[in-house]
């Protein structure tokens, strides 16, 4: 079985879970720990990607370019990557990140909108960095649609295309089908990014690898949006048990998880009612903090909002819809109370 390349996204996906509050020193410590463990790729940016520090997405405590610069200066072996979402970031932000020193960009769109990645994937290749396509909310589309979208990304010059389980809504069979479908039609790498809302992040990651995934993602101590991601240290331990030697030091990762990352986490990352309802309804994980705020404001149960967003098939970038949905539900509840 091929050894998959592991990307750690603690310093990107993890920022959702700590309200985008990473400091320069925390970034330095985490990058140093990952680099010493020989993790090959480290993703650093706002949780919503380059230029994501906005009133809609959430403001960063520290400018993301300061964090990216720190990561680039700290890493001795690892490649530094950033997430880029068209419409949130522009070509100028991507160029600035490349000037600072990122070596890879992951261009993320809803899984039916690959066509909007063309100019950014092509720009990444012109800038001579690695370009990865990210098909978010992959649970919402059948394998055939995802395969066609992935082929578009490949035609633009992508080096890899990821199946992204943004809501933690997939089960192993769904992962196998989707990864296999991409492997059947692409000549480039296929990746998989898991979330743990159904408790399946590691199982799904293993299913992806067994189906031929060339790249997988994790976060230290599972620090990520929603119920978190597949823990990087657990991925490495699991692959070791499977006889797959990644060359990554498990002991270094466990120390990093325990001594550096755990103290940063404001509350335990668990599959609580909100996270489970998000995964079950298939709602984008980064919506959770916004949903909780809306639920408190309008005296609603977050699950009510999640279920309605799931029914309406909300996608990334529609965070402003959360308030509208919450207001409608609150008005409906008042109307029912008067009957």
Told to judge if 16 belongs to the known catalytic residues of this protein, a careful annotator would answer: yes
3-state SS string for 88-111: CECHHHHHHHHHHCCCEEEEEEEC
Confidence category of residue 132, pLDDT binned at 50, 70, 90? very high
pLDDT digits (tens, 9 = 90+) for 77-106: 999 999 999 999 999 999 999 999 999 999
Looking at 121-125, 154-158, 251-255, 308-312, which range is the least confident one? 308-312
Q: Residue 330: is its pLDDT beyond 90?
A: no
Q: Any binding-site annotation on 280?
A: no
Pairing mode of beta strands 5-8, 215-218: parallel
Could you identify the residue written with the tokens 């990304």? 153
- Rounded to 10 degrees, what is the CA torsion of 250, 256, 262, 265? -110
Q: Residue 309: is its pLDDT beyond 90?
A: no
d(CA 102, CA 108): 16
Please report which confidence band the pLDDT of residue 313 belongs to, taking 50, 70 and 90 as the band edges. confident
Cβ contacts of 248 within 8 Å, gap of 6 or more: 6, 37, 38, 39, 236
| DSSP class per residue in 3-45 | PPEEEE-TTTTHHHHTTT---HHHHHHHHHHHHHTT-SEEE-S
pLDDT at 308: 76
Is the pLDDT confidence value at 335 over 70? no
| Residue range 5-31, pLDDT digits in tens | 999 999 999 999 999 999 999 999 999
Per-residue confidence at 116, pLDDT binned at 50, 70, 90? very high
What is the CATH code of the structural domain delimited by 273-337? 1.10.8.60
Could you tell me if 80 and 102 are in contact, meaning their C-beta atoms sit under 8 angstroms apart? Answer: yes
Whether residue 274 is annotated as binding a ligand: the answer is no
Q: How many CA atoms lie within 13 A of 121 on its CB side?
A: 23
Instruction: Write down the pLDDT at residue 226.
Output: 87
Return the higher-pLDDT residue of 276 and 43: 43
pLDDT of residue 339: 60
> At 336, is the pLDDT very low, low, confident or very high (cuts 50, 70, 90)?
low
- Check the annotation: does 195 bind a ligand: yes
Q: Residue 193 annotated as binding?
A: yes
CATH classification (class only), 5-264: alpha beta
Instruction: Say yes or no to pLDDT of 278 above 90.
Output: no
Is residue 13 marked as binding?
A: yes
- Of 16, 46, 139, 252, the catalytic one is 16
- Residue 329 reports pLDDT greater than 80: no
5-264 matches 273-337 in fold: no
User: Given this model, what pLDDT does residue 304 score?
Assistant: 82
Q: Whole-angstrom Cα distance, residue 98 to residue 93?
A: 9
Sequence ranges of the domains in the chain: 5-264, 273-337
């Amino acid at each position: 079985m091929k050894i998959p390349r592991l990307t750690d996204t603690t310093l990107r996906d993890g920022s959702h879970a700590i309200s985008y509050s990473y400091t320069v020193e925390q970034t330095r410590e985490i990058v140093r720990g990952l680099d010493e463990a020989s993790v090959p790729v480290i993703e650093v940016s706002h949780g919503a990607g380059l230029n994501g520090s906005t009133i809609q997405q959430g403001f960063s405590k520290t400018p993301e370019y300061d964090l990216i610069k720190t990561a680039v200066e700290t890493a001795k072996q690892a490649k530094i990557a950033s997430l880029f979402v068209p419409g949130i970031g522009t070509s100028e932000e991507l160029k600035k990140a490349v000037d600072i020193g990122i070596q890879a960009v992951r261009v993320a769109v809803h899984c039916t909108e690959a066509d909007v990645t063309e100019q950014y994937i092509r720009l990444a290749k012109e800038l001579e960095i690695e370009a990865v396509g990210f098909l978010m909310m992959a649970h919402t589309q059948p394998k055939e649609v995802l395969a066609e979208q992935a082929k578009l990304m490949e035609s633009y010059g992508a080096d890899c295309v990821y199946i992204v389980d943004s809501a933690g809504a997939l089960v192993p069979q769904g992962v196998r089908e989707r990864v296999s479908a991409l492997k059947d039609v692409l000549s480039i790498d296929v990746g998989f990014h898991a979330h743990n809302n159904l408790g399946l992040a590691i199982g799904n990651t293993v299913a992806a690898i067994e189906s031929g995934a060339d790249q997988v993602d994790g976060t230290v101590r599972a620090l990520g949006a929603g119920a978190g991601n597949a823990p990087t240290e657990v991925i490495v331990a699991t692959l070791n048990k499977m006889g797959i030697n990644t060359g990554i030091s498990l002991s270094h990762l466990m120390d990093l998880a325990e001594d550096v990352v755990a103290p940063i986490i404001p509350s335990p990352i668990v599959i609580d009612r909100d996270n489970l309802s998000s995964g079950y309804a298939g709602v984008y994980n980064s919506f959770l903090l916004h949903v909780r705020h809306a639920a408190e404001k309008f005296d609603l149960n977050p699950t009510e909002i999640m279920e309605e967003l799931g029914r309406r098939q909300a996608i990334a970038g529609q965070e402003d819809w959360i308030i509208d949905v919450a207001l409608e539900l609150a008005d409906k509840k008042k109307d029912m109370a008067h009957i």
